Structure 1
Amino acid sequence: MKRIILLLSVLGLAGCVGHHVAEKQATNVIDHGDYAVDTSFPSQEQDERVRFLIFHYTAADDKESLRLLTHGSVSAHYLIPSNPGQFNGKPVVLQLVPENKRAWHAGVSGWAGRNNINDTSIGIEIVNDGFHESAAGRQWIPYHKEQIVLAARLARDIMARYQIKPQNVLAHSDIAPLRKTDPGPQFPWQAMAQQGIGAWPDAATVTKYLQGKHRWSAGNVAVIQQALAAYGYTIPQTGKMDPETQRVISAFQMHFRSSNITGVADMETEAIARALVEKYCTPT
């Protein structure tokens, strides 16, 4: 008799479960032709695939930029023209690749231990020549105000939707410092950070790490290498000022200290790097 009662209880429970699933299926099953998918039981262990937002310049005019990014060997999710058009009073950005697809904008790249940044990023290209070489040296081309306004609006929206961390809003030169310089020292990183887009060090913390020394005085190469690696850069840990280290430091300076991008390991560079690590990479 006990076995019969137990069996009936199990059958009753099974019936309840089956009925519960059937109810869920009424509104949560998607027909895929030869099979159906039940989305009733989403796992809590998940996050967004998109972790990084990468800024670039095209090093070409509007026409050539569009050709290269639509029919060349590279692509990006968005292209900001030199003079963005308007729609209902709002600036228009060109979407070339859907956000749920991978664009070929980062190439060989790395950040914070991750490689193949194309897989986990959204790329924004901005029409800009980059630089011109002259007798006076390399002349970097400024961005148009309208481009930066649109870039800020687009970036803020993308960051919010994917919960991208400030330290993961990056330059192409941050993730590929040995071969890229875009978006260059004319890109207004500090102004963008003031709008909540990307990272920026606190001035008081930079002053603390300067330790009263002149900003152009020599910094500690090993300390700079360690700080940049902790922040996310791929950089040698040799304690020596080798050519690769200088290139990475120059990329860092283009982002956070554009007034001097020679790649010299000075005290201000060390202080900025340590301030960024303290602000964004220290567990709370």
Structure 2
Amino acid sequence: MKTKLLALASAVLLAACGTPLRQIDRTHVSENQDSRVQFLVIHYTVLDFDKSMKVLTTGGKVSAHYLVRENPVQTYQLVDENRRSWHGGVSYWAGATNLNSASIGIEIVNPGFTDTPMGRVYAPYPQRQIDEVIQLTKEIVARHNIRSDRILGHADIAPGRKQDPGPAFPWKQLADAGLIPWPDAAQVQIKQAIYQAGAVPDVNWFQQRLAQVGYQTPRTGVLDVATREVISTFQMRYRPTNIAGDMDAETAALLEIVTTPGGMLMKKPLPGDSQPRSAY
């Protein structure tokens, strides 16, 4: 009540001073506009739910629009979609930088990876949690008309620096849900047989094709650490059983089909689809 009285008193004083209250006409709306949101970026938290919530909502200098809990499965909105959250950091995709300014971030509660004597082991995602992420993604994409090639992982926009959501994240299920395109398996098989019988392309070819996909890729002609990290990131998405960053025949076949017109298939979701389906 006190605040309202102060506002009213200010308005009276302005009127008494001869300064009219400014009014904005909002009856004319331009057709030439779209959403500021152009990308959707998926992460894992590497923390349990309580710690994830604390870091994302208090003084951790990091945030996300949504947090998806694993047990019980629940989505929490932490930042309004019209505001920028601090989830991407230094980032790049297909010429775009500073993706925080044009993206929505989804954090998934997941412990990430553990380094063991047998190698790095990534924690699995419960299927109910993945189902929740898929439904949330569908809703965000519908609100902002986000292009399918701009639904990304944190690793995609920061290869080497970030690994999330990791090779355990089932990107294929997002393809089955009609959210992202997927390489045509038949075309990949043919190309893989050709490369296995002959020779795998050189590093220049890999670097050029990875840059064509959208990754920030060195163009050195050398299989350096940075290039291997980009190859590994590509493998995490399309061939998660082996993410060593090697220039092998299967990776070359996938990379060629991903960058060839007609090589990527996009499933049209059926009306009432609530579960991912495998057929295209």
| Match of residue 209 from structure 2 | 227
| Match of residue 184 from structure 2 | 202
Between structure 1 and structure 2, the one with the greater Rg is: 1
Structure 2 residue identity aligned to 1:110:
Y
Instruction: Tell me the CA shift for residue 211 of structure 1.
Output: 5.5
Q: Is 2:252 aligned against 1:270? A: yes
Alpha-carbon RMSD across the aligned residues, in angstroms, is 2.1
Aligned length: 244
TM-score (norm 2): 0.82
Deviation string 1:135-167 (CA, Å, 9 cap, x unpaired) is 111111000111101000000111111111111
Question: Does the Cα contact within 8 Å between 1:78 and 1:94 map onto a contact in 2?
Answer: yes
Within a 5 Å distance, the mapping from 1:24-35 to structure 2 comes to: 34-35=21-22
| Match of residue 39 from structure 1 | 26
Question: Does the Cα contact within 8 Å between 1:235 and 1:244 map onto a contact in 2?
Answer: yes
Work out which of the residue numbers 164, 171, 182 in structure 1 matches 2:153.
171
TM-score (norm 1): 0.80
SS of match in other structure, 2:256: helix
| Match of residue 109 from structure 2 | 127
| Match of residue 8 from structure 2 | none
Question: Does the Cα contact within 8 Å between 2:184 and 2:263 map onto a contact in 1?
Answer: no
SS of match in other structure, 1:247: helix
Structure 2 residue identity aligned to 1:140:
Y
Provide the C-alpha distance between the structure 2 equivalents of 1:276 and 1:74, rounded to a whole number of angstroms.
33
Deviation string 1:60-90 (CA, Å, 9 cap, x unpaired) is 00110101101111000000012135xxxxx
Deviation string 1:154-207 (CA, Å, 9 cap, x unpaired) is 001111111111111101000000200000000000111110122321112323
> Is 159-168 or 271-280 further displaced after alignment?
271-280
| Match of residue 64 from structure 2 | 76
Question: Does the Cα contact within 8 Å between 1:215 and 1:268 map onto a contact in 2?
Answer: no
Unaligned runs of 5+ in 1: 1-32, 86-91
Question: Does the Cα contact within 8 Å between 2:235 and 2:251 map onto a contact in 1?
Answer: yes
Structure 2 residue identity aligned to 1:269:
T
Deviation string 1:228-284 (CA, Å, 9 cap, x unpaired) is 1111110012222111101111111111110110011122222212212224899xx
Q: Percent identity?
A: 45
SS of match in other structure, 1:67: helix
Unaligned runs of 5+ in 2: 1-19, 265-280
Provide the C-alpha distance between the structure 2 equivalents of 1:216 and 1:129, rounded to a whole number of angstroms.
41
